[in-house]
Amino acid sequence: MKDKIQQEIREQFGEKLRVRVCGICIEEEKILLVHHRSLGKNGSLWAPPGGGMHFGEDAKSALKREFKEETGCNIDVEEFLFVHEYLDPPLHGVELFFKVKIVSGTLTLGSDPEMSPDSQLLTEIGFFDLTTLQKQDLMSLHYVLQNTKSLSGLINQKGYFKFH
């Protein structure tokens, strides 16, 4: 099963540059993260909700669509934060991070319509405080979270980053 998922990831997303949008949603000093199996250095990746933009789609619309697909929630996109270049072969993405706020919906683990039903990557969703995240294997956290000292520091970052 793992080899099948890896092959599908490579076919769908691999060895091409993708533009992605990611939403940082913080409520009560906790950040919303989605767990992906078969991604990351150790086959496990916690990351803010988001995904690839479609041709002709603007960034805010793409983020609203991706957030709804992965979390079941509708959002307001509040502000652009920073750009991160994600490189973990075979994946390579330029990620646009935005601060977002949930405005409606019920938090529910969604799915990735680009992956087949038996190869879904999303396995868990939830809000996490930094203390909990710092107890995780750092390699299972998205690069932008690995050295985060505070959630306010995360949303106050500005610029272009390549954290690896």
Q: Where are the domains of the chain?
A: 2-161
Strand partners, 89: none
pLDDT at 11 over 90: no
Structurally, at CATH architecture level, domain 2-161 sits in Alpha-Beta Complex (3.90)
pLDDT tens string 31-65: 999 999 888 888 889 999 999 999 999 999 999 99
Distance, CA of 115 to chain centre: 16
Strand partners, 51: 21
Q: Quote the pLDDT of residue 4.
A: 82
- Please give the C-alpha separations between residue 101 and each of 1, 31, 43, 52, 147, in angstroms, as whole numbers: 36, 11, 29, 20, 23
- Please give the C-alpha separations between residue 12 and each of 18, 43, 91, 129, 152, in angstroms, as whole numbers: 11, 17, 10, 32, 34
> What's the rounded Cα separation, in Å, for the pair 2 and 29?
35
Dihedral of alpha carbons 60, 48, 104, 30, sign: negative
Q: Quote the pLDDT of residue 2.
A: 65
107 neighbors 72 (Cβ within 8 angstroms): yes
Q: Quote the pLDDT of residue 87.
A: 87
Q: Quote the pLDDT of residue 147.
A: 85
DSSP string, 103-157: EEE-------TTS-GGG--EEEEEEE-HHHHHTS-GGGB-HHHHT-S-HHHHHT-
User: How does DSSP classify residue 1?
Assistant: -
pLDDT tens string 87-106: 888 889 999 999 999 999 99
> What's the rounded Cα separation, in Å, for the pair 3 and 160?
34
Q: Whole-model pTM?
A: 0.92
